[in-house]
Amino acid sequence: MNIVDRFINYTKINTTAVAGHGNLPSSQNQLKLAALLAAEMRQLGLKVEEHDNAITIGTLPANLKDPKRSVPTIAWVAHMDTSTEYSTDTKAHIVDYDGGDVVLNAAQNIIMKRSEFPELGNYIGDQLIVTDGTSLLGADNKSAIAAIMHAMQLLKQNPEIEHGEIKVVFVPDEEIGLLGAKALDVKSLNADFGYTLDCCEIGELVIENWNAGEFHITFHGQPAHPMSAKGKLRNSILYAQQFIAMLPGGERPEYTENKEGYYWVKSITGSMAETRIVVDIRDFTADGYEARRFFIEKLILSFNELYGEGTVSVHYDAVYRNAGESLQGENRYPVELAIEAMQSLGIEVKEKPMRGGYDGAVLSERGVPCPNLFCGAHNFHSIYEFLPVNSLNKASEMVFEIIKRAART
């Protein structure tokens, strides 16, 4: 099977994550995709573990001529879910791109305009995989799945190429909190290091991401009829409004870039009696992250001192840490290996901090250093998501090259 057909087959299975579902996986079709991948891995000679939560692990044994030679075990990780912005089925198709705008859906006049997406200019003469404008493409992260599986196919077709033990790991529900990675028994992989392919254009290499946390804050009020509300009514909506207004105004996602951290009010629901908000904090440095956490906690304490004990209650979750903390010193080896592999393929390496999280941050925190490599796609979480075919091929070649190089060192 060629890599493009493989990718498009995966996009036909709607694996949209369902936030707040409570089960792992959050959508049943992730189990369907997991079963398909398990069957394909067995056909390629991998030993497969299938779990009820859709976590699926394939192991390709080492084929070294000298079994006493020490070669690292590499884990290749990708997630099966797609983001929650759209839950509609994907109708992927290929266009030959000669420049200009791309008509995604003539009937609905949905057009990807080059003036809005100037990066299209980098792919004149290439083929682009796009949607019909009514859904996500799902290249985040099915392009990674296709690239990894195609590399496994190449290894099967070329048994003379030596490699160490390889772990292929597919997890659910990355898009709603890295839940699959958090449920993964990382130690059981016995991997020396790993890689995810979960960043964008060709050549991107992520070795830093956010330190991330989430506050669920509840404001407790006291309803009263307006005709007798004086001195009695305590409006929790206004408490929440006041709290949000006290967050630093310029430190929001829409005002920040690069390594600038922020406070992010993600939701607000409630009534006079009780109002809930969700506030995320993000920072690249551990000190900056702790300062933001302290600020929120101090603000909550101040509210309770001002309006009475119990006015505000809170639940805090640490979501993920900066993988960069785990990619220093000798743990930088997988980064250097990836750089060498890309350069050998003529790929310009673009190291960049990631203003987000990825499954490898969880693996890194748990002792398996895991940089994040490009999958080649653009415009994640958008109906204008597109995947250049050449970039998809290069992503798979990169996986293959890393595996070969790791066996030689």
Q: How far apart are the first and last CA of the chain?
A: 31
Active-site positions read: 81, 174
Contacts of 170 (CB under 8 A, 6+ apart): 33, 34, 37, 54, 55, 56, 57, 77, 78, 79, 80, 145
DSSP symbols for 129-184:
EE--SSS---HHHHHHHHHHHHHHHHHHH-TTS----EEEEEES--TTTSHHHHHS
Do the beta carbons of residue 324 and residue 36 sit within 8 Å?
no
Alpha-carbon distance values, 20 to 23, 25, 372 (Å): 9, 11, 26
Virtual CA dihedral for 250, 252, 257, 260, nearest 10 degrees? Answer: 80
Could you give phi then psi for residue 181, rounded to 5 degrees?
Answer: -60, -35
How many C-beta neighbours within 10 Å does residue 180 have? Answer: 31
Do the beta carbons of residue 290 and residue 300 sit within 8 Å?
no
Q: Which two tokens stand for residue 383?
A: 């109906």
